[in-house]
């Protein structure tokens, strides 16, 4: 009886462990689309851009040649960026930040 109970416990442990392992999502592949909302461009060059959000958190991105010219970004203009990951950050689009997001 003790042996059957221990074998059952081991089997149950293996089932629970495999269930947990299958629930862990793999890292996203290159090309995954993401958005950065309410960002200001504070520094820009042909190889990188630095964005600043309303909470003064900055993010530096290595950019590819899909990005628009740096002169198209106005100082203190809040933008929502839609980007994709890869070897370098690929620019998909940007748009003016919604008024209610500026307040938050």
Mind listing the pLDDT tens digit for each residue in 24-82? 655 655 666 888 989 999 999 999 999 999 889 999 999 999 999 999 998 889 999 99
Domain edges within the chain: 33-103
In contact, 91 and 61? CB cutoff 8 Å = no
HEC sequence for the chain: CHHHHHHHHHHHHHHHHHHHHHHCCCCCCCCCEEEEEEEEEEEECCCEEEEEECCCCEEEEEECCCCCCHHHCCCCCCEEEEEECCCCEEEEEEEECCHHHHHC
Q: Assign a CATH topology to domain 33-103.
A: OB fold (Dihydrolipoamide Acetyltransferase, E2P) (2.40.50)
Give the predicted TM-score (pTM) of the model.
0.67
């Amino acid at each position: 009886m003790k042996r059957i109970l221990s074998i059952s416990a081991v089997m149950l442990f293996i089932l629970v462990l495999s269930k947990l392992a299958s629930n862990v999502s793999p890292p996203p592949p290159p090309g995954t689309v993401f958005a950065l909302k309410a960002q200001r461009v504070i520094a820009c060059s042909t190889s990188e851009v630095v964005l600043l959000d309303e909470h003064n958190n900055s993010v530096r991105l290595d950019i590819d040649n899909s990005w628009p010219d740096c002169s198209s970004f106005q100082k203190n203009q809040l933008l929502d960026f839609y980007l994709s990951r890869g070897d370098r950050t690929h620019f998909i689009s940007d748009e003016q930040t919604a008024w209610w997001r500026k307040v938050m």
